[in-house]
Amino acid sequence: MQQLLQHNPWNEWMQKQSANTSNLFGADSSILGMLKELGAEIDPQVLGRLQSEYLVELGQLWQDFLTSKLPEFSDRRFASNDWHQQATHAYNVAIYLLNARFLGLLTEAVQTTEKKKQKIRFAVQQIIDAASPANFLATNPEAQAKLIETKGESLMQGITQMLEDLKKGRISLTDEAAFQVGKNVATTEGSVVFENRLFQLIQYKPLTKTVHQRPLLMVPPCINKYYILDLQPENSLVRYALEQGHTVFLVSWVNPDLSLADLTWDDYIELGAIQAIEVVQRITKQDKLNVFGFCVGGTIVSTALAVLANRGNHPASSLTLLTTLLDFSNTGVLDVFVDELQVSMREQTLGHGGLMPGRDLASTFSSLRPNDLVWNYVQSNYLKGQKPPAFDLLYWNSDSTNLPGPMFCWYLRHTYLENSLRVPGKLQVAGSAVDLSKIDAPVFIYGSREDHIVPWQAAYASCSILNPKKSNRNRFVLGASGHIAGVINPASKNKRNYWINEKLDANPQTWLDHAEERPGSWWPEWATFLADHGGKMIKAPAKVGAVGYSEIEHAPGRYVQVRAD
């Protein structure tokens, strides 16, 4: 039996795997070399302990192999029976997962600052995710089975799709031919009633006979298209607000080209949010309106309201902030992309003019969830030759926008790098000192519990910045899921859950510990808040616009149609 094992090809394969992976902790380990280059150190005793534990587990895998016991694992990347029933692939996965776990432990053992450790953690995780056996035809049994089943057609289709994506400069996440803006996404009826070189203002047709006196102005992020708020009727937050009896206006940001490469943060505040507020006031003849901001749109509209407050103007009846950062102390994994060196490089290349390409921004966000937004599609689109299914949210995700270089660089330095926005009077924007505490309006703040772009604790931090002396005017609601899926959670589908707690605490975890968990969507909580600050009910306007603000074109308008690529 021993002789058979010594000459067994499976035995030789296992010995090769063992030899390759034994370098994980060795002096020639590429990972340890990378850590040393980054100036990171690991306590020799900790390193020795991890090495011993690693070898014990590797030895156990070896013993299991000798007794023909297949390893067990529960990773959704390897859910197919093909990974579990074939010894070669099962042990390949087992060794990969063993290495991945101990690389993670190595990273956590690094002795350095938390910021450096976060960068190291991110870099190592990128390596781990890229090295998955599922990402290569030679080690992916599902792709191999598909190749045999289709007599090579799957590989030919995969190569064709890969070449098409190379031309586009991005991976196809969905069947993009299945959607068209204005046809089956962004279809809520409305009209563009104002435009300048920075945005179009859409006024939507009422869906109720009476409406709240005070209009609602929605300001989406400028780094994405607005129609995340109006995908399709069943998951449109715009339509939901209309159904609740609000007169809804929405900012549709321009997708900048080189003619707009000189736009600044001041422009987005003065010519963007502030002008939108003033136009809505003039059209509706209302001094007060409910103001809404999503993600960067929330940062923009909050800055605008602070600028107006410094001028003695308080137009907001209420303010809604969804997954918005005002305090940038905790920026989650995005922090790995921001330091003095990287910001200075951007300022040198883009600070005085130029464009931050939308494809670069999209690649950055995809790298935050590479298994979901990169490798999953490498496997299905290229290795298996499958066409991605139609999915409205992923279509929107692929419809990226450029940003003007000066605006982008200002935003990076003064928020993500220096965290100055939260400090009263530290920044001058549009000729005014910015003090967010001067915004005089009750605030509805929403965070998503699994948000990797705006950690919910960071969203919660806005509670102490806004209305600092009247915290009872603020309300925080925590929703399930992530940055987008948590927000776009229609009330009609009654999915997921959310947490509420009327008593705000300085510590977000304390707030959560005493919060009440409720099933379904948080949208009705927001609807109640809006109704409380919407004023009396009046007859819905018979037509959109007003004198001087007639319809320019039907929604969704031209600006949203322009693609970055």
Residues marked as catalytic? 295
How far, in Å, are 87, 102, 309 from residue 61 at the CA level? 12, 15, 66
CA distance 355 to 348: 13
Distances (CA, A) of 533 to 281, 288, 501, 529, 536: 16, 10, 20, 7, 9
Which residues in 282-320 are b (16+ Cβ under 10 Å) and which e?
A: ebbebebbbbbbbbbbbbbbbbbbbbbbbeeeebbbbbb
Which residues, listed in sequence order, are joined to residue 330 by a DSSP beta bridge?
A: none
Alpha-carbon gap, residue 224 to 393, rounded angstroms: 12
Q: β-pairing, 316-322 with 289-294?
A: parallel
Cα–Cα distance for residue pair 307/199, rounded to 1 Å: 19
Task: State how far the Cα of 281 lies from the Cα of 213, in Å rounded to an integer.
Answer: 12
If we measure between CA atoms, which residue out of 318, 483, 321 comes closest to residue 397?
483
Residue 223 · residue 411 · CB < 8 Å: no
Burial of 72 (0-12, 13-18, 19+ CB in 10 A): exposed
Three-state DSSP state, 264: coil
Question: Crossing angle, helix 87-108 and helix 9-21, to 10 degrees?
Answer: 10
Chain centre to alpha carbon of residue 25: 35
Give the up-direction half-sphere exposure of residue 486: CA atoms within 13 A in the CB hemisphere. 24
The residue type of 504 is L
> CA-CA-CA-CA torsion for 323, 325, 331, 337, nearest 10 degrees?
100
Q: Is 197 helix (H, G, I), strand (E, B) or coil?
A: coil
Of 271, 134, 291, whose CA–CA distance to 195 is shortest? Answer: 271
* Residues facing residue 200 across a β-bridge: 195, 252
DSSP-assigned letter for residue 222 = T
* Cα 349 to Cα 354: distance, rounded to the nearest angstrom: 8
